[in-house]
Structure 1
């Protein structure tokens, strides 16, 4: 029996039949094809790893967005609570400080009502008689009484007007206190003047007799009302921090629930991704084992024919590199710091770019007031329409200069105001911004007055210029001295 030999892939000497099992060429090719087909199948399965990694990257980005939105919603909720607390405290404090003035106002109002009622009672008891008014006899007194005018309180004044029938010229009308006016035949200018003099003297006597001070019981009643109001406002002011703290605790609780829910979903998705990635790793190990077996088969049996040479070359190609995600643990919350079942920690993976330090947490602050829109709109209108040019003959340098100054102020105010309205960078406007805006406004007004012939010869432009200089100097000092301690760039 002759020894069957096969040529090695490296061209070495043929092996003996005693060391290499005798296989027919068809069996070698069949085994070679089986290995190649297995490698092909695993390669097709591993081809989905790149899409899986991309999908997992999108998942991590989505998780980071969800956490960012939750943090943003929590920060906005805290900001709203802080602003509502500040508004309520400011309003209640202002009302408490105004109680003393309110007490004085109520005492003045009560005294005015008391005096008015006393005057009305006195006038109502002052009857019109023929002996009281010169020139008015008993007949005219009866005519006045027939028209409802019996006391000094029944009429207020007299006036001239056309006669009721339109004939005879103007006549004297007596205006009743309850409305309407009447004309009494026989009462003209000579009798109307004494009638008004009698009423004025009656009003003077009534005012002299009216009380000048409130009675003690009325003052005590007003004082009790004010003290009750002070007590109620004080209780409301003391309740505001507690209410805000309860709302803040509720917001924190809701935020923790949202984070727990997100963390639970993220952990479940991460566990599925880990299992899927382990499957890909296992398939990669199997592929490497099959490639090793294929290499060993080639070393042992050599080439199996030209038809499978290219196929086995493709099968022996190394796996393509799939970039894994750079796992970066994000700050843990109470929900995801420890598993409730195993007690082990589950760090969250985030794709947010690291900045070399802890990310700043949103802190509520006092936002810049909406009242700053008034100077912004005013200076914007000035930038478009000019600073009060008196006519079309205003110098060109003046029109351009004032508009540029107004535009500069608008840009500066908008640059300072918009970031201070956002909840992440909320803060009051820098010190000195108000005086600077006021000084610029006065400067623009003074410049318009200097070129106006109506004001240029007076001292008004110089007075406005001096006031503008004081405001500008004070604003610059405040901006340079205190603006840096504002926490935001000025």
Structure 2
């Protein structure tokens, strides 16, 4: 009971406390506040980091989609190339029989031509063969290169070489050109040509009518070798296509592996960065606790730091969770790129696949555009100025609104139907302009203007109700 050992739970006398000076309290308070501010500035970068990370995930998903699309196109090209090659080889195989016949006909034609040429070259021109042509003319013809029936083709009439006299007879050489020989006119030229024609007829009659067996066998061997080559190409085509297909699949797998490796590396860096942000958040909470404890222990440090204290003790900002994007190894049908754009107009309907605003909306757009320029058809020039200006401004505003709603819904990426209620409201605006035009007339048409005004009011109310209902549902 009377022990001199002090008790740890006994209150310590106030005299033993060391109370800091006001300047030290304010300095410590400022240090804590500045530390909180620095951490807050660092933590403010977390949202931009999350947005950048989400864009990275979307970009990786797009890269994977492009890789899948490239793979599909490559496989389609390989299949189409295989089909074309097989069809071409099949057609060439089927046409080999016709090719054999054509080659045999061509070879027979060459053989006959060579036989005829040899026969004509062996038919020499003599004075006993052609009536009226003696030895002197034979020598003159030989001097000009005409010795056999193969040396000339035909005869014709033409002007004399010196330009004097009348027409003379020309002999057309087989090698080209023509010559005139004095003494050979019509009476000697006709027998000369008839001699050649008779020699040609005899040569054609003696020419072979069929190919020799060895030549026919040679052509058959050539065709058969080509047939075997085409058959081998036809058998090789599927194997080549299969090898190309395997190469395309391997390239696709390598591309996916690279994407997956990049994704894992980026995901590891993102995880480390998130761990840093979590650590900073814990440090910020600890500093806020120290600041609160300091405020509770030493009280107010002055009017100048109250606002800074309140700002430093604010709760941490909540970072909304962003929708996740599957990794590059996920199936393509489960991947949907996430948009980071904040929706600002809830009345605009989302784009619907296969739905696009119709071209029929050009009718009211063009009509209202012309109305904004020409007016509503004022019946006379006595219409008030405010009426003319007002109707044009209303038509211009409606035209601009319709274009703002219609143009994005015609584009491929933002295609969609026009918002609900726009049709009745546009019709109501048209009836309103028609009603205004009728009522502006000095001689109204028996209440037609008021009827158009009532219809306009009903349509405008109906369109407004539909728009409000759609907005409420959205």
Name the TM-score, length of structure 1 as normaliser. 0.59
**Where in structure 2 are the equivalents of 1:78-97 lying within 5 Å?**
78-97=75-94
Corresponding position of 1:281: 278
The Cα of 1:231 is off from its aligned counterpart by 0.9
| Runs (5+) with no aligned partner, structure 2 | 1-11, 340-474
1:147–1:182 contact (8 Å) kept in structure 2: yes
Corresponding position of 2:212: 215
1:172 aligns with 2:169: yes
Residues in 2 aligned to 1:287 and 1:23: alpha-carbon distance in whole angstroms? 26
Name the TM-score, length of structure 2 as normaliser. 0.61
Corresponding position of 1:370: none
2:93–2:227 contact (8 Å) kept in structure 1: yes
Residues in 2 aligned to 1:280 and 1:263: alpha-carbon distance in whole angstroms? 25
Residues in 2 aligned to 1:49 and 1:109: alpha-carbon distance in whole angstroms? 85
1:175-206 CA deviation, whole Å, 9 max, x = no partner? 12222222222221112112211211211121
> In structure 1, the residue corresponding to 2:320 is in which secondary structure?
coil
1:160–1:170 contact (8 Å) kept in structure 2: yes
2:260–2:329 contact (8 Å) kept in structure 1: no
Residues in 2 aligned to 1:34 and 1:122: alpha-carbon distance in whole angstroms? 123
Corresponding position of 1:379: none
Give the direction of change, closer, same or farther, for the CA distance of 1:47–1:351 in structure 2 (3 Å limit).
farther
The Cα of 1:301 is off from its aligned counterpart by 5.6
Give the direction of change, closer, same or farther, for the CA distance of 1:48–1:331 in structure 2 (3 Å limit).
closer
Among candidates 44, 47, 50, match of residue 44 of structure 2 = 47
Corresponding position of 1:153: 150
Corresponding position of 2:329: 332
Corresponding position of 2:379: none
Residues in 2 aligned to 1:184 and 1:219: alpha-carbon distance in whole angstroms? 46
The Cα of 1:280 is off from its aligned counterpart by 0.6
**Where in structure 2 are the equivalents of 1:468-479 lying within 5 Å?**
none
| Runs (5+) with no aligned partner, structure 1 | 1-15, 338-346, 355-490
The Cα of 1:298 is off from its aligned counterpart by 4.4
Corresponding position of 1:270: 267
1:309 aligns with 2:294: no
1:119 aligns with 2:104: no
- Between the two proteins, the alignment pairs up a number of residues equal to 324
Give the direction of change, closer, same or farther, for the CA distance of 1:29–1:168 in structure 2 (3 Å limit).
closer
1:36-73 CA deviation, whole Å, 9 max, x = no partner? 33322321221221232233233333333433443444
1:35–1:294 contact (8 Å) kept in structure 2: yes
Residues in 1 aligned to 2:227 and 2:178: alpha-carbon distance in whole angstroms? 49
2:61–2:326 contact (8 Å) kept in structure 1: no
Corresponding position of 2:447: none
Residues in 2 aligned to 1:111 and 1:353: alpha-carbon distance in whole angstroms? 76
Among candidates 316, 319, 322, match of residue 319 of structure 2 = 322
**Where in structure 2 are the equivalents of 1:349-360 lying within 5 Å?**
352-353=337-338
Residues in 2 aligned to 1:110 and 1:53: alpha-carbon distance in whole angstroms? 81
Q: CA RMSD in A?
A: 3.1
1:25–1:304 contact (8 Å) kept in structure 2: no
The Cα of 1:297 is off from its aligned counterpart by 5.0
1:326–1:351 contact (8 Å) kept in structure 2: no
Residues in 2 aligned to 1:112 and 1:102: alpha-carbon distance in whole angstroms? 15
1:117-169 CA deviation, whole Å, 9 max, x = no partner? 11111222222233322222333333323332222112110111122233231
Q: Rg bigger for which structure?
A: 2
